[in-house]
Structure 1
Amino acid sequence: MEVEEIYRRDLNLLVALRILVEERSVSRAAMRLNLSQSAMSRVLGRLRDLLADPLFSRQGQSLIPTEKALSVNRALDEPLASLQQMLAPSDFNPGTCDHTFTIATTDYAMQTILPFALPRIYQEAPQVAFDFQPLQNEQLKEQLTYGRADLAICRPSNPIDTLHHQTLGRVGVQCLVSHQHPLAGTSMTLDDYLRFPHAMIAISDGVKALIESALADKPKRRMVLRAYHLEAALAIIDTMPLIITVPADLAYLVAERHQLVVKSLPFHFTPFDYSMIWHPRCEYSPEHEWLRRVVEEECGKLIAKRVEDIQLDQIRP
């Protein structure tokens, strides 16, 4: 197609397609584009004519995009990002930024990583706001693409080839026991680890699957508690010989707060990478670039210090 022919097409329709795919709703897309619902419906009709495809089917209150709609939307990533960069003001000032950032993350990151970046963030940009959302591991791509999350901070447990990412550092694993535990004053062997009851917490960011993989040829552990919050395990850790396996830096923070004993894993475990992940649509946004830089510098520095403090660097893959 010649450039002149592209000029004669209404390329605003492609922006409307992106919004429709993200919102899955004509009314919500109309609100974002400051249109009436009837005007948005006409835009959808013109899009269908332009692309010669129904683009969406209705399921309940939601619009389900066709393969053609998803394919065109993916193809828009790079050109729309380039246009955003080209048209955005070049003199970004975090001091006047009032953007609301939506961050998808885990309880682990909320307790042990992000709080250490927030003071600098608000020092540089006192008017920004944050909306923290629970991370949906199995739907991470969809959460960043259609859920309108700006950034995810987690251990990616599924392929993220279509997303951008930056490793913040490496995270190891340690165990927690009470001072009354039979192992509190002695080294923990593999037999000990397999013999005593365990608690696994969802805060642990996929640690359970990694532990099970490392112990694939060993007897199953006796799991007496699975919970979303660490407090459930802490409530009974003094009443039974419980072992709680969590990311190493979290273990040290919890041990200090609750007078617990930290024990090393009695088997080889490869530390895992912790990352921030974002959709290509955010790649060239000045406010997003600033946020990622601060998170990388502050959280990366924090993780590196903890790696040194707990001698994680002595553990080799």
Structure 2
Amino acid sequence: MPVNLASIELKLLVVFDAMLVERSVTRVGYRLGMSQPAVSNALNRLRDLLKDQLFLRTGEGMVPTARALELGEPLQQALRQIERALEPAAFQPRELDWTFNLAVSDYVSVVFLPALIAHMSAVAPAVKLHIQSKRNPEVSGLLDNSEADLAIGIIPDLPRRFRRAQLFRDRYVCMMRADHPLAGSPISLADFQAIDHLAIKPSAHEISRADRLLHKQGVRRKIATTAQQLLAAPAIVSRSDLVVLVFERVVDYFDRDAFYFCPAPVDDMWFRVSAVWNQAHNEDAAAKWLRRQVIEVASRMEPPEEPRPARAALPLPRRRARVDVAG
């Protein structure tokens, strides 16, 4: 007489499958996230349904009966077929007219986005990227409302419903006009604290990320002027004695003849750039594909140099690229 499939829960077969491998109620419980009593109860229900002991307790663990061994292979094959049937369809970017929405910082737009766009053009020419600028207080809302598939930037801790992948790191360096009184040699900590600074921060009421790093080391700087956008820094610094902290990876986009760069005279001015997404889309095939592309491009970025000792810091070496964004 055929077994009534309606009387067998799929989870009972999952427990049976795990028991064939683990031969231990404790290990099966750990593997499936079940308590030991729950695993034992599932086994007892299967025994009643199949009219067999299935697994016998011995000094070497739970040993399968002849009936369990007979059932093992066909049931395992059936479970693998069910897994494949329920698996999300593979994302085929070359065959789809697809648009991803990215929320990125101005910094990421300069140092990372060009490489990502070039990569996407090569591997998935039909895929489009819609880029929007983001401020950190807006990230949660953009991801929760599906207005952004991914946020990329220097993003602080978010609630547990968000996942994160570390992409690359960078550090702050000092930037001043080429004929500044302090240009030409490493800046001392005393001079760094005495000179007037331009601070780049999104709001006049917020402390900048650079100042948070400085405060951790007991360092305070004199902020004479603030600006919201990094792109304002070259024009302001070129016409004043102000010093500004900028990201080392953007140095190549400034005119090396017009500005002088050197490490900040403190030990730790490093930060990490991350990709963040809503966990609700963690297993979505298209979203997973996008994250893989972002991580792949980030892995190709030249790693930053190891930090030099702050008191013996040397000026950053000149490079060939010269782009004056100040106009």
Q: TM-score, normalised by structure 2?
A: 0.61
Question: In structure 1, what is the equivalent of residue 213 of structure 2?
Answer: 211
Aligned to 2:286: 287
The structural deviation recorded for 1:241 is 1.3
Residues 97 and 287 of structure 1 are in contact (CA less than 8 Å); yes or no, is this contact kept in structure 2? no
**Structure 1 residues 295 and 209: alpha-carbon distance in aligned structure 2, compared to 1, 3 A threshold:** same
**Residues 132-143 of structure 1: matches in 2 within 5 Å?**
132-143=131-142
Q: Which is bigger in relative contact order (C-alpha 8 A, separation at least 6)?
A: 1
Tell me how far apart the structure 1 counterparts of residues 257 and 94 of structure 2 sit (CA, whole Å). Answer: 39
Render the CA deviation track for 1:50-85: whole Å, top value 9, x for unaligned.
xxxxxxxxxxxxxxxxxxxxxxxxxxxxxxxxx9x9
Q: Within 2, Cα distance between the matches of 1:153 and 1:258?
A: 31
Q: 1:177 to 1:313 in 2, by over 3 A?
A: closer
Q: Which residue of 1 aligns with 2:227?
A: 227
Q: 1:134 to 1:86 in 2, by over 3 A?
A: farther
Deviation at 1:147, TM superposition (A): 4.8
Cα drift, residue 256 of structure 1: 4.5
* Mapped contact 1:180–1:238 kept (Cα < 8 A): no
The corresponding residue for 1:118 is 117
1:307 corresponds in structure 2 to: 304
| Unaligned stretches of 5+ residues in structure 1 | 5-82
User: If you compute each CA radius of gyration, which structure gives the higher value, 1 or 2?
Assistant: 2
Q: Distance in 2 between matches of 1:222 and 1:145?
A: 39
CA shift, 1:253, in A, is 1.9
Identify which range, 118-127 or 284-293, moves more after superposition: 284-293
Query: Per the alignment, in what secondary structure is the counterpart of residue 157 of structure 1?
Result: coil
Give 1:55's aligned residue: none
Structure 1 segment 1-317 matched on structure 2, within 5 A: 86=86, 88-90=88-90, 92-202=91-201, 207-215=209-217, 217-218=218-219, 220-250=220-250, 252-256=251-255, 259-302=258-301, 305-308=302-305, 311-312=306-307
CA contact (8 A) 2:178 2:257 kept: no
Q: Residue 212 and residue 131 in structure 1: after superposition, are their counterparts in 2 closer, same or farther (change >3 A)?
A: same
Could you tell me how far apart the structure 1 residues matched to 2:270 and 2:230 are? 21
- Secondary structure of the 1:172 match is strand
Q: Is the 8 A contact 2:196 2:242 kept in 1?
A: yes
Say what the alpha-carbon RMSD is for the aligned residues: 2.8
Verify the 8 A CA contact 1:114 1:299 in the aligned structure 2: no
Kept in 2, the 8 Å contact 1:307–1:313? The answer is no
> CA contact under 8 A between 1:138 and 1:158: conserved in structure 2?
no
Cα drift, residue 111 of structure 1: 0.6
CA contact 1:167–1:276 (8 Å) conserved in 2: yes
Partner Cα separation in structure 2 for residue 109 and residue 86 of structure 1: 37
- Give the conservation status (yes or no) of the 8 Å contact 1:106–1:135: yes
Structure 2: gaps (5+ residues): 1-5, 8-82, 311-327
SS in 2 for 1:246: strand
SS at match of 2:173: strand
Aligned residues: 225
Structure 1 residues 307, 201: closer, same or farther in 2, change over 3 A?
same
Q: For 2:238 and 2:269, locate their aligned partners in 1 and report how far apart those are by CA, in whole Å.
A: 30
Separation of aligned partners in 2, 1:314 and 1:301: 27
C-alpha deviation, 1:313, in angstroms: 8.7
Contact 1:136 1:143 in 2 (8 A): no
Structure 2 letter corresponding to 1:266: P
Q: Aligned residues: percent identity?
A: 24
- 1:307 aligns to what SS in structure 2? coil
- SS of 1:89's partner is coil
Indicate if the aligned counterparts of 2:99 and 2:129 stay in contact, CA closer than 8 A. Answer: yes
- Quote the residue 1:29 is aligned against: none
The letter of the residue matching 2:215 is: S
**Whole-Å separation in 1 of the counterparts to 2:123 and 2:270:** 33
Larger % of helix: which?
1
Q: Aligned in 2, Cα 1:314/1:93: closer, same or farther, shift over 3 Å?
A: farther
TM-score (norm: length of structure 1): 0.63
The alpha-carbon deviation at position 168 of structure 1 amounts to 0.5
Relative to structure 1, the CA distance from residue 255 to residue 184 in structure 2 (aligned partners, 3 Å threshold; closer, same or farther) is farther
8 A contact 1:177–1:263 mirrored in 2: no
Q: Which amino acid aligns with 2:212?
A: L
Mapped to 1, the partners of 2:117 and 2:281 lie a distance apart of: 20
Whole-angstrom distance in 2 between the partners of 1:206 and 1:97: 42
Distance in 1 separating the partners of 2:187 and 2:256: 22
Q: Secondary structure at the match of 1:117?
A: helix
Give the drift of 1:209.
Answer: 4.0
1:200-234 residue CA offsets vs partner (Å, 9 max, x unmatched):
2248x95334334235x44x423232222233221
